Amino acid sequence: MALLKREEWQGFVRDVDWSYSYVDDSAVFPEWHCGTGKVPREAWSAWEEDYKVSYPEYVATQREKEASAYAVKSALQRSTTFDHLDEGWKSATKMHFGGVALVEYAAVLAELKMARFGLNGAWRNMATFGQLDELRHAQITTFFGHEFIGKDAQYDWTQKAFHTNDWVLISLRNLFDGMMIAPNVVDLAIELPLTFETGFTNLQFVALASDALESGDVNFANMISSIQTDEARHSQQGGPTLEILVEHDPVRAQWVIDKAFWGSARAFAALTGPAMDYYTPLEHRKQSYREFMEEWIIDQFVHTIEEYGLKKPWYWDEFMRGLDIWHHGLQMGLWYWRPTLWWRPKAGVSKDERAWLAEKYPNWEKVFGDKWDVLIDNVNANNLEATLPETLPWLCSTCHLPACNATQSRDGTWRVRDWSLQYDGRTYHFCTNGCRQIFWKDRDNVNHQTLIDRFLAGQIQPMDVGGILGYMGLTPDVMGDDPDYEAWTKDYVGRPVEGISLAAQS
């Protein structure tokens, strides 16, 4: 006689809710932690995950996965692969380790929050597996990044990045605090597992895994594809939650998704966009960022929300136009403010690379080409100083990224626009109309200072570039610089200089 099948007994594991009588239900499940809102409390009893798992199955499967992930790592330990990787690719991995390791840990806290405050026992159990999964991801990412510190000090930021006030990290903390650790669990389940994990992590994990393999970084590809295999299990907390919310409060459901999608899109434009379209060596690129977004994110996202009876977000046209603009503007910003990065950003605008960009983004030369030409001519004139920042960019009060999005005016010119609004006697500035609308609608960021606000308020001393870099936690051994100026400027040596480069040189 064998063991009972899971289906025969799992009902008891899921059936663990009871009626409180020594304390109030609303004390055990406070509204701002749980966010039941217009959904009647009893409606959550219908919450059911699609894909069931039991504890013994979980530990057995995960043990195998861990064994094989670490076996690949130790097999590669003595290889010299790392030393031969392209600097651009290494930069993509540094950005990944620093930008992701502790986000996985934020997800541990998010899952623990759902394991405590989830409105159904089965949900809380699923979150208990979820927090273990995220712990795995935080640990494996941290450990793999740690291995390279001896070779390159920038990998120290695997752990350090999120403890600093670097502008990239302020932006990411603001996003992930708001959609992972701090929100009520209903919003959280829709923002993190549904919008973020079933959508955007595909971009970082699937796209980057294939770029990693192309670039010869088997270790990295192995790590992230192993992580990706866990997502299906815990990401399913979003579906049943959304289903119940849509039934009782579709307006809120739409808003929660719209907001999380927008915030994620901004962050991925800043990080994954440059990594895919500029850092990955040309010969190893599979798809452009835009193509990848269209295939993996947009189609799937639209399909998912329509399945739940929701509509495309109100900002859809602005978002779609941004696919040709946002990450290119941010790439220029990242490169220009390169001393504030913990990686070495490639410019990635040699003639061949520009031809590729122009093919993938027909407006690229018109909007960005002339700006890069100025930088190129300054590099070729040995005037590197002119390519380094002396001022700060204006940061958006919602996404905390530089306001650097060009939009086309009626007369056909492209200009970076400022969207602003007055609130409580103060003028707030935004990078996009979408960011402004989100700020106005939820006001989570009221009274929250951007890095620029802090600077202007005198919180950063001394008030110069050195003071700012210190405030951001940057040390000379880590500060980013272009890994190879010649690589992208040599194509243009000797050409006539025009426009503002000429003015700068005279």
Residues in 83-102 that interact with other proteins by CB under 8 A? 101-102
User: Binding to other proteins (CB under 8 A): which residues in 280-339?
Assistant: none
Tell me whether residue 165 or residue 229 sits nearer to other proteins (CB atom): 165
Residue type, 153: A
Does position 344 interact with other proteins (CB under 8 A)? The reply is no
Contacts of 352 (CB under 8 A, 6+ apart): 282
Residue pair 391/455 in contact (Cβ under 8 Å)? The answer is no
Find the binding residues for other proteins in span 444-483 (CB under 8 A): 444-448
Rounded to the nearest whole angstrom, what is the least distance from the CB of residue 432 to other proteins in the complex? 19
By CB under 8 A, residue 28 contacts other proteins? yes
State the virtual CA torsion across 443, 448, 451, 455 in degrees, nearest 10. 130
Q: What DSSP designation does 484 have?
A: -
Task: Name residues contacting other proteins, limited to 49-78 (CB under 8 A).
Answer: 54-56, 58-60, 62-63, 66, 70
Q: Binding of other proteins at residue 396 (CB under 8 A)? A: no
We find the least distance from the C-beta atom of residue 158 to other proteins, in angstroms, to be 7
Integer Cα distance of 39 and 247 in angstroms: 8
Interface with other proteins (CB under 8 A), residue from 45, 81, 142, 433: 142
Q: Is the dihedral of CA 32, 36, 41, 44 positive or negative?
A: negative
Based on CB atoms, which residue is closest to other proteins, 54 or 433? 54
Task: Find the shortest distance in angstroms from Cβ 63 to other proteins.
Answer: 4
- Name the phi and psi angles at 457, rounded to 5: -85, 0
Could you tell me the smallest distance in angstroms from the CB atom of residue 32 to other proteins?
5
The nearer residue to other proteins, 33 or 321, going by C-beta atoms, is 33
- The answer to whether the CB of 45 falls within 8 A of the CB of 17 is yes
Q: Which stretch binds other proteins (CB under 8 A): 15-23, 296-304, 340-348, 409-417?
A: 15-23
358 near other proteins, judged by CB under 8 A:
no
Cβ contacts of residue 340 below 8 Å, gap of 6+?
166, 167, 168, 468, 469, 472, 474, 479, 480
Least distance (Å) between residue 49 CB and other proteins: 14
Q: Minimum distance between the CB of residue 375 and other proteins, rounded to whole angstroms?
A: 32
Distances, alpha carbon 47 to alpha carbons 12, 128, 253, 408, in Å? 15, 16, 16, 46
Q: Does 8 bind other proteins (CB under 8 A)?
A: yes
Q: How far apart are CA 404 and CA 329, in angstroms?
A: 6
State the nearest-atom distance from the C-beta of 288 to other proteins, in Å: 31
- What x-and-dash track marks residues 177-206 binding other proteins by CB under 8 A? xx--xxx-----------------------
Of 139, 287, 408, 433, which lies in the binding site for other proteins, with binding defined by CB under 8 A?
139
Give the per-residue contact string, 114-133, with other proteins (x = CB under 8 A; - = no).
-xx----x--xx-xxx-xx-
Applying the rule CB under 8 A, the residues between 411 and 430 that interact with other proteins are none
Token pair for residue 295? Answer: 């295939």
Tell me how far, at minimum, the Cβ of 401 lies from other proteins, in Å.
13
| DSSP 8-state class, residue 402 | B
Q: Can residue 433 be called a binding residue for other proteins (CB under 8 A)?
A: no
Piece of 11-19, 39-47, 261-269, 351-359 that binds other proteins (CB under 8 A): 11-19
CB atoms within 10 A of CB 309: 12
Total residues interacting with other proteins, rule: CB under 8 A: 82
Percentages helix, strand, coil for the chain (3-state, rounded to 5) are: 65, 5, 30
Segment near other proteins (CB under 8 A); pick from 212-220, 263-271, 345-353, 442-450:
442-450
Q: Which is nearer to other proteins, 9 or 51 (CB)?
A: 9
Judged by CB under 8 A, does residue 158 bind other proteins? yes
In the region spanning residues 216 to 275, those forming contacts with other proteins, defined by CB under 8 A, are: none
CB 94 within 8 A of CB 342: yes
First to last CA, the chain: 90
CA distance 247 to 305: 13
Residues 160 to 179: which contact other proteins by CB under 8 A? 160, 162-165, 170, 173-174, 177-178
* Shortest reach from residue 175's CB to other proteins, in Å: 9
Q: What is the largest CA-CA distance in the chain?
A: 90
User: Which DSSP string do the residues of 408-471 spell out, in sequence order?
Assistant: E-TTS-EEE--EEEEETTEEEEESSHHHHHHHHHH-TTTTPPPHHHHHHTT-SSSSSHHHHHHH
